[in-house]
Chains A and B, each alone.
Chain A
Amino acid sequence: SVSGVYLGSGGVVRARSVVITTGTFLRGEIVMGLETRPAGRRGDAPAIKLAQTLERLDFRLGRLKTGTPPRLDGRTIDYSSLIEQPSDDPPTPFSFLNLLTGPKDVGRVLCHMTRTSEATQRLVLDNMHLNSHALQEEVNGPRYCPSLESKLLRFKGRTHLVWLEPEGLLSDLVYPNGISCTLPPDLQQQMVNSIPGLEHAKMVHPGYGVAYDHVDPRELKPSLETHKVAGLFLAGQINGTTGYEEAAAQGIMAGINAVLHTRGDAPFIIDRASGYIGVLIDDLTTLGVSEPYRMFTSRAEYRLLLRPDNADTRLTRKGYDIGCVSEERMRLAADMEVNICKGLHVLKGVKLRHPVWKTKLGLPCSEKDRGDLKTCLYVYSTHTCTHTLAHAHTHTH
């Protein structure tokens, strides 16, 4: 079992449980043009010793690659001809504690949409000899298209969507989603300028590909603790996933279980029917990964059950029971459960004959409708009628 961590600076931190989240740092190599150099991320050294430790412990390692696009100076982008993508209005907050009652000025920022051009395709395809993308095929690439090169190679003759996303409210940097590439930096600047709206855009940081080691997630228990070393937890890209939400989900689960481990308590598990976190961890630990794992709703067989609107009833109590949810949040969730119960009770209590319902709601009747009594709940779930209509009729009883 784990007893602590040796730091690069020479110190030791003792711990009964350790969570490793190396991202792309494990024997990471950055690829730009034809050059490959060891790096975890632009400007950061890779983690070599840690990779060696994991190897020594006999963990099965795999190698994956991902990429990031160049960053642009938003002040040099011409948005005038581009399609706007406004934020949701009204915005839906992630947190149930955030009780927005009306439109609020929350400092929303627009995203914009543009597309690659024929010139973009020509530039990239004509310069494949300067690009190590083709040479890197032996490392696992995903089935989806992570890079501009893959898109242009696999789906020729089409323009491809590019989303221009501001990196922050106070930043001028723009993240052009959809053009991560391994072109040499000078060609990247040209490639950017071949895109409508970005003719004069200045590239602040070049994009690059990164290849890195990851651990086969089948080495993990559903709590994200490794089978081989007690108290050692792995979370994030080290388990072969890609994406922020995927990493965050694993982070919170590993963190919770690391604490429970120190207390000697049973681990906290979410199953596939209770949340996407459950789908994610179950897929990883039972199926392993052959490409960087991204979550899609189609992975969830209980997709209809796992909705954002019922996240509180699905998960809040579970979190409360292990001590990571505040009283305030739990109270809100409990009130919601009670209200839903009451609401269902009312809906089930109002009964009218089926044809009567249809007439009241302005729906066409048919001879097939028998005269038996139907609850308002039934009507809600079977007929496409607006909330207001059904609501109005519930109130008159």
Chain B
Amino acid sequence: KLYDPETSSLIDHGLVLWFPGPHSFTGEDSVEFQVHGGQAVVLALLETLGCQPGLRPAEPGEFTKRAFFSGKLDLTEVEGLADLIHAETEAQRKQALRQMEGELGKLYEHWRKSLIHCVANVEAVIDFGEDENIEHGVLDQVRGEVRSLLEGMEAHLDDRRKGERLRSGVHLAIVGPPNAGKSSLLNVLCQRPAAIVSPYPGTTRDILESALDISGYPVIVSDTAGVRCAVDPVEKEGVQRAVSKAKSSDLKIVVFDVSLLKDQLRDAELNKSVLDSQMNSFLESLGDDSFSEEDTVVVMNKKDLLQSTPGALPTCMRESLCFVSCKTGEGVDAFLTLLKKHLERLCGDPLSGSPSITQTRYRRHLCDCTGHLRQFLSESDSEERMDIAADQLRLAIRQLGKITGRVDIEDILGVVFSSFCIGK
């Protein structure tokens, strides 16, 4: 039972939990009040607490901040927690959870520790090389270690931005000639899976965009104006915008009205060239052919209007091509499966392999880090420039430290003294 100490009036019946530090979220002693969640109850409790001497309302994120400063969470875990809170789809939740549990942080910390070992060896040579017995092979060992770290980091960076895309959403553009059924397709997408209602904080969305959850992946769909060679300047502008939208998207869906070709589609052989030329002339009308096979799905809509089943429809002339009818629903399942395959490719499986880079911030620091490591390798050739080379290693460590929030010179000294017998 919770009572107001001033008035002795009863506030609520609830559960009070005491977490003595360091076994608490923040690492400090903390108390949790679990009360009936009604507005008035919570308000009454907060007001009573606010009147107690020495208590004040926490600032936004303050508990997490304290957890960080007491060393319970590193920055990647803090940001993972934020991502978890903001996750809107299943795949996002999984990725954020993995990061919050520290996997990404552990990876970077592991690299950082390796680099600290390297720099400690170099510092030992610089500070004590003259009077202590530092073995000659030390520097070669360091260079080898740095080279292998560099390889690991470059492989991690070469991930085609899967993690970031999953976190902020895959950009999908639907393009095609007028009246091909683009809007119908968009409706299909919007009806099947749950639409995301609240906008994801931090990303800007065009008012013509819809945010969707497709098979657990966040997708931002842009519908565009029908594309054709336009004369009217307003329409021309619309076409330009459609094209540039498509170019900047992660995935493109090109929709055609297949019923327009019903006379041409007779046998398997012919079909391939017919469909291909359709695609090519469309691309020409856009004035560019930047639609690679990999990130384009071709949808032949209005299948229901083809009288005959166009014989043996070539099953895959283009990997990602399907025949649908938005009206009847035919072929839509196959289309969604195809779409999901692409989304998986673009976002990666959040649970498999090593954890992904989720933020541009991490990518930037990692790139700077690898830059410094490369510099180190070229400077460490000459013994005279060893202090300049060592500086590069320190800068590399600092970049990693900026990701996780930890930078400390004592770490280096600790390693130096435990590995080398440095006397008085």
Contact = CB atoms under 8 A, between A and B. Distances in A.
A299 B390 CA distance: 13
A178 B127 contact: no
A303 B424 contact: no
Contacts of B388: 304
Contact of B422 (A144, A158, A304): A144
B387 A304 contact: yes
Interface string A288-308: 000000001111010110000
Contacts of A144: 417, 422-424
A166 B391 CA distance: 36
B131 A151 contact: no
Contacts of A180: 424
Given A161-B131, A161-B133, A296-B123, A147 B409 contact: no
Interface in A146-173: 146-147, 151, 154-155, 158, 160-161, 163
User: Of residues A145, A180, A298, which shows the largest number of chain B Cβ atoms within 10 Å of its Cβ?
Assistant: A298
A340 B285 CA distance: 66
A33 to B, nearest CB: 20
A47 B46 CA distance: 57
Contacts of B421: 145, 151, 154-155, 158, 160
A140 to B, nearest CB: 14
A304 B391 contact: yes
A296 B413 contact: yes
A298 B424 contact: no
User: Of residues B388, B394, B409, B416, which shows the largest number of chain A Cβ atoms within 10 Å of its Cβ?
Assistant: B409
Contacts of A304: 387-388, 391
B392 to A, nearest CB: 11
A143 B414 contact: yes
Contacts of B126: 297-298
Interface string A275-319: 000000000000000000000111101011000000000000000
Nearest to A147: B424
A151 B417 CA distance: 11
Contacts of B390: 298
B418 interface: yes
B151 interface: no
Interface string A173-212: 0000110100000000000000000000000000000000
Interface in A3-49: none
Given A161-B132, A298-B126, A145 B422 contact: yes
A145 B128 CA distance: 13
Contacts of A142: 417
Nearest to A298: B123
B412 interface: yes
B382 interface: yes
Query: Looking at chain B, what size class is its interface with the partner chain?
Result: 20 to 34
Interface string B392-417: 00100000000000000100111011
Contacts of B414: 143
A155 B394 CA distance: 28
Nearest to A179: B423
Contacts of A66: 424
A62 interface: no
Given A161-B132, A298-B126, A298-B127, A145 B423 contact: yes
Interface in B76-135: 123, 126-127, 131-133
Interface string A334-357: 000000000000000000000000
A100 B418 CA distance: 42
Contact of A178 (B387, B417, B423): B423
B423 A296 contact: no
Contacts of B417: 142-144
A298 B423 contact: no
A255 interface: no
Contacts of A303: 387, 391
Nearest to A242: B424
Nearest to B122: A298
B318 to A, nearest CB: 42
B142 to A, nearest CB: 15
Given A161-B131, A163-B131, A296-B123, A146 B413 contact: no
Contacts of A145: 421-424
Interface string A226-260: 00000000000000001000000000000000000
Given A144-B417, A384-B382, A296 B127 contact: yes
A179 to B, nearest CB: 9
A177 B423 CA distance: 9
A55 B357 CA distance: 54
A304 B421 CA distance: 26
A178 B424 contact: yes
Nearest to B119: A298
Contacts of B394: 301
Nearest to A307: B387
Contacts of A151: 421, 423
Interface of B: 123, 126-127, 131-133, 382, 387-388, 390-391, 394, 409, 412-414, 416-418, 421-424
Given A177-B423, A298-B409, 11 more contacts: A143-B414, A143-B417, A154-B421, A160-B423, A161-B133, A178-B424, A296-B123, A297-B123, A298-B390, A299-B413, A301-B409
The 5 closest A-B pairs by CB, nearest first: A143-B417, A298-B123, A155-B421, A146-B424, A144-B422
16 contacts: A66-B424, A143-B413, A143-B414, A145-B421, A145-B423, A145-B424, A147-B424, A158-B421, A296-B123, A296-B413, A298-B390, A298-B413, A301-B409, A304-B387, A304-B388, A384-B382
